[in-house]
Structure 1
Amino acid sequence: MKIEEINQMGKELKDLLKLKNPPVAIGLVPGTHEIPEGINKIEEKMRHCQMVDKARKEASEFYALVDDQQCKGGAAVMGLQEMTPKLANGDVYYNLNRYKTINSARRTMQQVPTLEAGSIKAVLYGPLDKVSFIPDVVLVIDTPKKAMQLSQALLHRFGGRVNASFAGIQSMCADGVVQPYKDGHISASLGCGGSRKYANVAEDEMIIGIPVERLHDMIEAAHEMFG
């Protein structure tokens, strides 16, 4: 897959589904790989979800290291660092009154999609129609209707069902990026308090994560269905 193809698919996806903002390309740079040349490091410390919002609203491309990630929970699930014990065992969300018992908080955290600590050295961000790197995951943040259309396009060729797994926490990092990165399937998330507060995910928007390998067939189907 070439950069020109990636950019063209980004343009087509936005035009075909009449998306409000361009899909966001996310690249996870393994610890054994180099950060692509020509991409600038982000200049300010932000949460991962804020970086996604910056890429989709400002059409800017950049990369972030672990020290640039303000939300250490997001950094941990994406493999940039170890998860703190208080987050891993559920204390953080239990103390925020998200769960009735520490056990319900613990069980939830044990099922959050997570990459091995230290396996990723940097995260790349940019609008899909303009990026200079090959992404691993594409994020679409739009209405449930657009998510429905994406799901229909995904199933157009082989059929089946789209299975969603989310818990209302760590939606933009664990649900949107890590889940499709790990299993190669589309993910759907209703968002979380952090993404809606810090990343301006609106009340009528949800998050779809698409493995880049699924993008071509999805767009080909979208042309047939919605073009």
Structure 2
Amino acid sequence: MDVKEINKYGQELVDCLKLKTSPVAVKLIPKGGEIPEGMKEVDEAMRHCQLVDRVRRTGEEFYTLIDDQMCKGGAGAMGLGEMPPKVASGEFYFNKLKQFSTQGAARRTLERVPKLPPHSTEAILYSPLEKATFIPDVVVVIGNPKQIMLLTQAAMYKTGGRVEASFAGKQSLCSDGVVNVYKEGKIGVTVGCSGSRTYTKISEEEMIMGIPVELLADVATGLKEICPK
């Protein structure tokens, strides 16, 4: 699969699903890896969820380093630096956000958040899929339930099966939408988290799907077959 095919699949997703914003190509550059020559660094620090939301709306392409990622919990999950101790332990969610009844409940949830080894990622690239100049690891699609349904049906078109969703409403676009998909090589569906629902323009009517690039061709092909005429 080359970049031209990636772009073609991106445009097909936009056209068939009638997406109002672009699918977002995300690539994790391993530690010591090289950032593509000529690609610009993002111009301000933002959260990963904000970066995805910005790219899908503006059509920009850029890379980020650890200092460009405002949410260190999300950055740590994606291997940029380390997960802050109070986030990793659940203390932040229990004591500050009051989202759990006990510290133990918070800890158990955060222990199961998908994450990459600390400092294993050098940089993260973002681009609208139909314009990307690189081959992504994961494609993040933000759409309404019907659009996510069609993507699910498209993914099942070739071999059948089921999409297995795993989420807790915590670290959604970073851990669920990117890291878990990257690690497992399987499509993931998630519903957002308090951060992504607060700091982005993702609407109450939208949800998120992460697609590993290895499955993108099959999803795009299936979508063309079932695409509503």
Tell me the TM-score normalised to structure 2 length.
Answer: 0.97
Paired letter, 2:17 = L
With 202-211 and 34-43 compared, the bigger mean Cα shift is at 34-43
Can you give the 5+ residue segments of structure 1 that lack an aligned partner in the other structure? none
Partner of 2:164: 163
Can you give the 5+ residue segments of structure 2 that lack an aligned partner in the other structure? none
Partner of 2:53: 53
Partner of 2:224: 223
Identity %: 54
Q: Give, in whole Å, the separation in 1 of the partners of 2:112 and 2:38.
A: 37
SS of the aligned residue for 2:21 comes to: coil
RMSD (Å) for aligned C-alpha atoms: 0.8
SS of the aligned residue for 1:28 comes to: strand
Kindly indicate whether residue 177 of structure 2 is the aligned counterpart of residue 176 of structure 1.
yes
Tell me the TM-score normalised to structure 1 length.
Answer: 0.98
User: How many residues in Structure 1 have an aligned counterpart in Structure 2?
Assistant: 227
Where has structure 1 moved over 3 Å in runs of 4 or more?
none
Q: Give, in whole Å, the separation in 1 of the partners of 2:7 and 2:101.
A: 46
Q: Give, in whole Å, the separation in 1 of the partners of 2:68 and 2:116.
A: 18
Alignment of 1:58-77 (within 5 A): 58-77=58-77
Partner of 1:205: 206
Compute the displacement of 1:199 (Å): 1.6
Q: Give, in whole Å, the separation in 2 of the partners of 1:85 and 1:220.
A: 43
Q: Give, in whole Å, the separation in 1 of the partners of 2:82 and 2:141.
A: 28
Partner of 1:105: 106
Partner of 2:188: 187
1:158-216 superposed Cα distances (whole Å, 9 cap, x missing partner): 11111000001111100100010000000000111111111211000001000011000
With 116-125 and 30-39 compared, the bigger mean Cα shift is at 30-39
Alignment of 1:108-123 (within 5 A): 108-123=109-124
SS of the aligned residue for 1:12 comes to: helix
Compute the displacement of 1:32 (Å): 2.9
Compute the displacement of 1:22 (Å): 1.0
